[in-house]
């Protein structure tokens, strides 16, 4: 029993010693590092420095050794203001750069670029000029240019021709560039009337030019500075390929001016990007069934205490509801229609929000 009491007394003394050492350490930190400490921060002392009169040297002594080595111009003295805080450097470029991407679907390939057709047109034209290839046709209003017949890789049997189509992207500010290749035997006369094929005669040569143009555009820094743009080609961007419009019934629908195959793939990709759960889908019947809770608001995260005690009961997450997404094709236009599968107070609003989420995530 005495041993136990002895041990407790020793532990109590150790605790007291540690408390004293800790208190002394805190005081020592303030003694050494505080505002009045030995090693205080003197970084702003220059703000309180006072200008002293220049030292005067008796006439019988040399004064050349006291000349000012660093002379401060008068104009700086009159306008100089000390910095309270170091100013941050301005950003070099505030616009987000997406780059140049080659997209493909089945046998179709195209360049997607985040700039307007009016800016793309003169750059693609410069591409052919750098290659010393003559253009037989230039129609900036429709976004089409055609090259003259050219020789490719010393091909002595065939002559070749390319057609470039510059179209607006799904959203404003984006462009899509398509390449079509046509070939003709040298033993035949050059056709006066051109019957362009639906797909390129050579997919390899199409891919070669597509990759070459995409690399050329990616290397051009001025494409993102809008320094040059074709006014005639500006009419290409009059309307994007994806637009939310009202139908005859006054309901909002997403209108896509693309083929059905691409529309189906684009909508599925948009749903996956937005992390919307796809419950069921049927391509032949042109529908998706999804669960959607509305557009999430970017609110500040709750504080530490709020997270511990559960926060506000009204901030509970919205409940997911079931919706259908249907694709209807009419006159080369795909109409995307959203509809709630169950009635609710906010069903109409959520159908519109679902349409907006799909549109915003199209690429």
Within its chain, how far is the Cα of 295 from the centroid? 20
What six digits make up the tokens of 294?
């509305």
Based on the domain organization, do 218 and 112 belong to the same domain?
A: yes
Of 221, 237, 253, the one marking the end of a domain is 237
Question: What is the per-residue pLDDT across 188-212, written as a single tens digit (0 to 9) for each?
Answer: 988 888 999 999 999 999 999 999 9
Kindly tell me the sign of the dihedral angle through the C-alpha atoms of 346, 348, 353, 354: positive
Query: Is residue 58 predicted with pLDDT exceeding 90?
Result: no
Count of beta carbons in the 10 Å neighbourhood of residue 289? 15
3-state secondary structure of 31: helix
Residue 105 to residue 359: CA distance in whole angstroms: 19
Q: Mean pLDDT lowest for which of 40-49, 80-89, 197-206, 289-298?
A: 80-89
Residue 217 to residue 58: CA distance in whole angstroms: 73
Residue 338 to residue 326: CA distance in whole angstroms: 7
**Is residue 84, in this structure, part of any structural domain at all?**
no
Of 237, 253, 279, the one marking the end of a domain is 237
- What's this model's pTM, rounded to 2 decimal places? 0.64
Question: What is the per-residue pLDDT across 336-356, written as a single tens digit (0 to 9) for each?
Answer: 999 999 888 888 899 999 999
Sheet strands side by side (includes 333-340): 242-246, 252-256, 333-340, 321-330, 287-292, 277-282
Based on the domain organization, do 183 and 143 belong to the same domain?
A: yes
Of 212, 237, 262, the one marking the end of a domain is 237
Phi, psi of 113 (to 5 degrees): -140, 145
Based on the domain organization, do 171 and 282 belong to the same domain?
A: no
Based on the domain organization, do 220 and 263 belong to the same domain?
A: no
More confident residue, 82 or 345: 345
Per the CB < 8 A criterion, the answer to whether 260 and 267 are in contact is no
**Is residue 92, in this structure, part of any structural domain at all?**
no
Taking CA 214 as the corner, what is the angle to CA 242 and CA 209, rounded to the nearest 5 degrees?
110
Based on the domain organization, do 354 and 246 belong to the same domain?
A: yes
Based on the domain organization, do 119 and 227 belong to the same domain?
A: yes
**Is residue 88, in this structure, part of any structural domain at all?**
no
Q: How many CA atoms lie within 13 A of 49 on its CB side?
A: 10
Residue 193 to residue 186: CA distance in whole angstroms: 16
More confident residue, 262 or 17: 262
Query: Is residue 326 predicted with pLDDT exceeding 60?
Result: yes
Based on the domain organization, do 109 and 187 belong to the same domain?
A: yes
Instruction: Provide the pLDDT for residue 245.
Output: 92
Q: What average pLDDT does range 254-274 have in this prediction?
A: 94
**Is residue 63, in this structure, part of any structural domain at all?**
no
Residue 170 to residue 162: CA distance in whole angstroms: 24
* pLDDT grade for 361, boundaries at 50, 70 and 90: very high
Q: 257: domain CATH number?
A: 3.30.310.170
Query: Is residue 76 predicted with pLDDT exceeding 50?
Result: no
Based on the domain organization, do 264 and 281 belong to the same domain?
A: yes
Sheet strands side by side (includes 108-113): 100-105, 108-113, 175-185, 158-168, 144-147, 135-139
* Arithmetic mean of pLDDT over the chain: 78
Based on the domain organization, do 227 and 247 belong to the same domain?
A: no
Instruction: Provide the pLDDT for residue 68.
Output: 55
**Is residue 34, in this structure, part of any structural domain at all?**
no
Structural domain count, the chain: 2
Based on the domain organization, do 246 and 182 belong to the same domain?
A: no
Which residues have CB under 8 Å from 255's CB, separation 6+?
242, 243, 244, 245, 333, 334, 335, 336
End-to-end CA distance of the chain: 80
**Is residue 342, in this structure, part of any structural domain at all?**
yes
Query: Is residue 180 predicted with pLDDT exceeding 80?
Result: yes
Q: 194: domain CATH number?
A: 3.30.530.50
Per the CB < 8 A criterion, the answer to whether 259 and 329 are in contact is no
**Is residue 27, in this structure, part of any structural domain at all?**
no
Instruction: Provide the pLDDT for residue 248.
Output: 83
Based on the domain organization, do 247 and 232 belong to the same domain?
A: no
Based on the domain organization, do 129 and 248 belong to the same domain?
A: no
**Is residue 131, in this structure, part of any structural domain at all?**
yes
Query: Is residue 82 predicted with pLDDT exceeding 60?
Result: no
Q: What average pLDDT does range 10-27 have in this prediction?
A: 68
Domain housing 281: 242-296+318-360
* pLDDT grade for 281, boundaries at 50, 70 and 90: very high
């Amino acid at each position: 029993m005495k041993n136990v009491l002895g041990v407790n007394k020793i532990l109590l003394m150790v605790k007291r010693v540690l408390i004293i050492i800790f208190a002394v350490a805190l005081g020592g930190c303030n003694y050494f590092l505080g505002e009045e400490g030995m090693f205080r921060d003197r970084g702003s002392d220059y703000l309180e420095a006072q200008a002293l009169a220049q030292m005067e040297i008796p006439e019988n002594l040399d004064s050349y050794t006291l000349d000012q080595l660093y002379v401060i111009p008068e104009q700086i003295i009159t306008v100089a203001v000390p910095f309270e805080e170091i100013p941050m450097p301005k950003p070099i470029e505030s616009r987000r750069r997406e780059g140049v991407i080659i997209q493909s679907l089945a046998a179709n390939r195209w360049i997607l670029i985040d700039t307007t057709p009016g800016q793309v047109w003169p750059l693609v034209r410069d591409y052919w000029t750098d290659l010393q290839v003559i253009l037989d046709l230039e129609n900036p209003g429709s976004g089409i240019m055609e090259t003259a017949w050219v020789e490719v890789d010393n091909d002595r049997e065939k002559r070749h021709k390319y057609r470039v189509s510059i179209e607006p992207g799904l959203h404003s500010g984006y462009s899509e560039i398509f390449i079509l290749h046509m070939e003709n035997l040298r033993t035949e006369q050059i056709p006066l009337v051109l019957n362009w094929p639906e797909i390129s005669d050579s997919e390899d040569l199409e891919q070669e030019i597509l990759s070459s143009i995409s690399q050329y555009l990616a290397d051009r820094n001025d494409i993102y500075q809008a320094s040059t743009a074709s006014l005639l080609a500006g009419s290409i961007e009059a309307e994007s390929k994806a637009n939310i419009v009202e139908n005859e019934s006054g309901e909002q629908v997403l209108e896509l001016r693309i083929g059905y195959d691409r529309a189906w793939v684009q909508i599925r990709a948009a749903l996956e990007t937005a992390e919307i759960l796809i419950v069921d889908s049927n391509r032949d019947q042109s529908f998706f069934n999804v669960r959607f809770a509305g557009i999430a608001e970017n609110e500040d995260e709750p504080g530490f205490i709020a997270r511990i005690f559960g926060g506000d009961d009204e901030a509970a997450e919205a409940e997911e509801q079931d919706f259908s997404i249907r694709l209807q094709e009419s006159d080369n236009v795909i109409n995307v229609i959203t509809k709630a599968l169950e009635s609710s107070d906010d069903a109409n609003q959520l159908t519109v929000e679902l349409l907006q989420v799909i549109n915003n995530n199209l690429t």
